[in-house]
Amino acid sequence: MPETEPLLIDYHCHLDLYPNFEEQFRNCTVNRIATLAVTTTPLAWPKNKELAATSPMVRVGLGIHPHMAGQHPSELVLFERYLPETRFVGEVGLDAGPAFYKTYGQQKIIFERIVRLCAQSSGKILSVHAVRAARDVLNLVEAHLAGTSNRVVLHWFSGSGAEARRAAELGCYFSVNGAMLLKPTAAALINAIPRQRLLTETDGPFTKTGSRLAEPRDVSQTTEQLAKILGLDIEITRTMLRKNLASLERLHSSHAKQ
Ligand code: MN
């Protein structure tokens, strides 16, 4: 395999939130891990874009994290300004969990605006957070993105099997992490998702591997967990994930990496 080809995939990681973030960007390239570095605010966009410029394995997503919704009133203006510079968007989405329910109305206004802006362009790939909000997220995807060349990757999806099937019918991909795969319901969820829509992620540094912060290289273990659940050989699973990534990103492949 040529050295420019990835070996593994971390399609949702907050590289800029590690104390050694510059090293994290470099390691993705050294270890050949195709990484989607998501951001939580457009204020982080310029620095991330600069770091990714010298990290061929890293794509950077322009994001407004639902947990931060409304904290920076000017962030939507900034988001709109930077959007033409990237085909990757994330982290965006909705969180109706108890800790964030009080901002849910504000989150919906922001996420719907983001989805509408993406629908007006083409070939965008959105890494979407959907905690206790799968139905609202899928309704917005169906209303604005289905049938367009934009694609949604559901990050750490926790909806039902029926919602997973609905998402797949709407063209969504799913990035799964190690913590998700340890849940007793993991096998049922994974089996409800078409294999060609699966990707791996860490959501580092918000997750742990043992007692340390998870890093992109930990997708190696996640890929093994996934292979076990699917009953597939590890090498076949790695190849399948690389093909899935290629087919997701092939759309409008004439676009620049970022
Ligand atoms: Mn995240």
Q: Assign residue 107 the CATH number of its domain.
A: 3.20.20.140
pLDDT band at 253 (very low <50, low <70, confident <90, very high): very low
Q: Does the pLDDT value for residue 69 go beyond 90?
A: no
Is residue 3 one of the residues assigned to a domain?
no
Is residue 194 one of the residues assigned to a domain?
yes
Q: How far is the CA of 113 from the centre of ligand 1 (A)?
A: 20
Is residue 257 one of the residues assigned to a domain?
no
Q: How far is the CA of 178 from the centre of ligand 1 (A)?
A: 13
Is residue 34 one of the residues assigned to a domain?
yes
Q: How far is the CA of 1 from the centre of ligand 1 (A)?
A: 30
Predicted local confidence at residue 187, as pLDDT: 95
Least confident of 1-5, 27-31, 38-42, 181-185: 1-5
Is residue 239 one of the residues assigned to a domain?
yes
Q: How far is the CA of 149 from the centre of ligand 1 (A)?
A: 24
The pTM of the whole model exceeds 0.75: yes
Domain containing 184 equals 8-250
Q: How far is the CA of 128 from the centre of ligand 1 (A)?
A: 9
What is the distance between the terminal CA atoms of the chain, rounded to a whole angstrom? 23
Is residue 63 one of the residues assigned to a domain?
yes
Q: How far is the CA of 144 from the centre of ligand 1 (A)?
A: 23
User: What does the chain come to in residues?
Assistant: 258
Please work out, in degrees rounded to the nearest 5, the angle formed at the alpha carbon of residue 28 by the alpha carbons of 15 and 121.
65
Q: How far is the CA of 208 from the centre of ligand 1 (A)?
A: 13
Is residue 242 one of the residues assigned to a domain?
yes
Q: How far is the CA of 232 from the centre of ligand 1 (A)?
A: 28
Q: How far is the CA of 12 from the centre of ligand 1 (A)?
A: 6
Predicted local confidence at residue 73, as pLDDT: 74
Is residue 201 one of the residues assigned to a domain?
yes
Q: Are strands 212-213 and 208-209 parallel, antiparallel or unpaired?
A: antiparallel
Tell me the backbone φ, ψ of residue 84, rounded to 5 degrees.
-65, -15
| Total structural domains within the chain | 1
Estimate to the nearest angstrom the gap between the alpha carbon of 111 and the chain centroid.
15
